[in-house]
Amino acid sequence: MKSRFMESVRTELRTRHYAYQTEKTYLYWIRQYILFNDTRHPETMGASEIERFLNHLAVNRSVSKATQNIALCAIIFVYRHVLHIEIKDLAYSLARKPRRLPTVLTPQEVSAILAQMEGQYWLITALLYGCGFRINEVLRLRLKDICMVRKSILVFGGKGDKDRYTLLPTNLLARIEQQMERAKAIHENDVLEGYGFTSMPPSLLKKYQGTLRQTPWQYLFPSAMRSINPYDQSVCRHHLHSSAYARQLRTAVSISSVCKRVTAHTFRHSFATRLLETGSDIRTVQELLGHSDLRTTEIYTHVLGNQRAGTISPLDTIPLV
């Protein structure tokens, strides 16, 4: 559904500097809302149609609370920022996400998974666990973000568009250098073929346009193919897609002896928990993770189990027959 209205929604999203993934997600749910209501224009609809659509998602499509929240946010965005209409008396509000303790891997389990991976996928996993990255943060690393001398890595524009520095594990230096050489070779070949541009967020395209072909701005984990930049339609080299890594991780976990649900984010949880287990200060962990609120970091103290404050189970104090 490509229409002037949907293009106006896209323009508003980009004007407000929403992430490209958020743009795609919002446009998807807005289309679904319009199609569900027989392609009526949102201007002619209101609270009752929104409620009917959200009920449909919950009952007929069995979506999660989180997905329902995203759909509601997308629809409210249209009315508030595109149509400038305030929806009143809506019987729905954002569902509260239940608090869940994260799945955490032991060092032995991390080793078992790494043993089933190789090449750049091995290195991505090692960085996730060794540095506490989110998956998009590690995939968006550029060559300029890595400082071998100070053994640090710059996370540029992380969650909440915040920058931070994190650790660079010493035992990864050689593998990172190899990956950097591989990225440089791919870039040099692109330049020879008349390309060599890296992808860039729209807010930085004009500012850094003259540097887009320079080696330091290339991704550490470049994609296998060149692609079209959705913002300016130029041919560029983007970074490896998270779905490619997810497939490799699923295979590695299934082959290993690890009987837990493991995602890329599991390594970030394991990083934080391991630092606290080995005596790191919680403020340091907060800084390395890039948490704004200490309470977000404190959830990892609940994962430590019997190591928390030296607590021993009562069952461990009596003899068992």
Q: How many helices (H) and strands (E) does the chain have?
A: 13, 5
Q: Are the beta carbons of 213 and 196 closer than 8 angstroms? A: yes
Q: Which long-range contacts (CB under 8 A, 24 or more apart) does 270-273 make?
A: 270/104, 270/105, 270/106, 270/110, 270/129, 271/128, 271/129, 271/130, 271/131, 271/132, 272/132, 272/297, 272/300, 273/104, 273/300, 273/303, 273/304
| pLDDT given for residue 269 in this prediction | 93
Q: Which of 56, 159, 226, 241 is catalytic?
A: 159
Q: Are the beta carbons of 3 and 9 closer than 8 angstroms? A: no
DSSP 274: H
Q: Which of 10, 142, 237, 268 is catalytic?
A: 268
Q: What is the DSSP string of 211-271?
A: GTTSGGGSBSSB-SS-EE-TTT--EEB-BPPHHHHHHHHHHHHHHSS--S---HHHHHHHH
CA–chain centroid gap for 64, Å, is 19
For each of the domains in the chain, give its residue range(s) and CATH number, in order of start.
4-82 (1.10.150.130), 99-308 (1.10.443.10)
134 is catalytic: yes
| pLDDT given for residue 318 in this prediction | 77
159 is catalytic: yes
Euclidean distance between CA atoms 236 and 197, whole angstroms: 5
Q: Which of 31, 164, 175, 265 is catalytic?
A: 265
Bridge partner residues of 167 (DSSP): 152
Per-residue pLDDT tens over the stretch 125-134: 999 999 999 9
| Closest C-alpha to 121, from 8, 267, 23 | 267
Strands 152-155, 227-228: pairing is unpaired
| pLDDT given for residue 307 in this prediction | 54
Q: Which of 79, 129, 245, 300 is catalytic?
A: 300
269 is catalytic: no
Bridge partner residues of 164 (DSSP): 155
| pLDDT given for residue 312 in this prediction | 64
Per-residue pLDDT tens over the stretch 198-231: 988 776 777 777 788 899 999 999 999 999 988 7
| pLDDT given for residue 258 in this prediction | 93
CB-based burial label for 263 (10 Å; 0-12, 13-18, 19+): middle
Q: Which of 134, 142, 238, 274 is catalytic?
A: 134
291 is catalytic: yes
pLDDT in tens, the chain (321 residues): 468 999 999 999 988 888 888 999 999 999 999 999 999 999 999 999 999 999 999 899 999 888 999 999 999 999 999 999 999 888 877 766 667 788 999 999 999 999 999 999 999 999 999 999 999 999 999 999 999 998 899 998 778 778 899 989 999 999 999 999 999 999 999 999 999 889 887 767 777 777 888 999 999 999 999 999 887 788 999 999 999 999 999 999 999 989 999 999 999 999 999 998 888 888 998 989 988 888 888 888 777 664 555 566 676 777 776
- Residue 17 phi, psi (nearest 5): 60, 40
Q: Which of 291, 295, 302, 308 is catalytic?
A: 291
Q: Whose structure tokens read 């984010």? A: 265
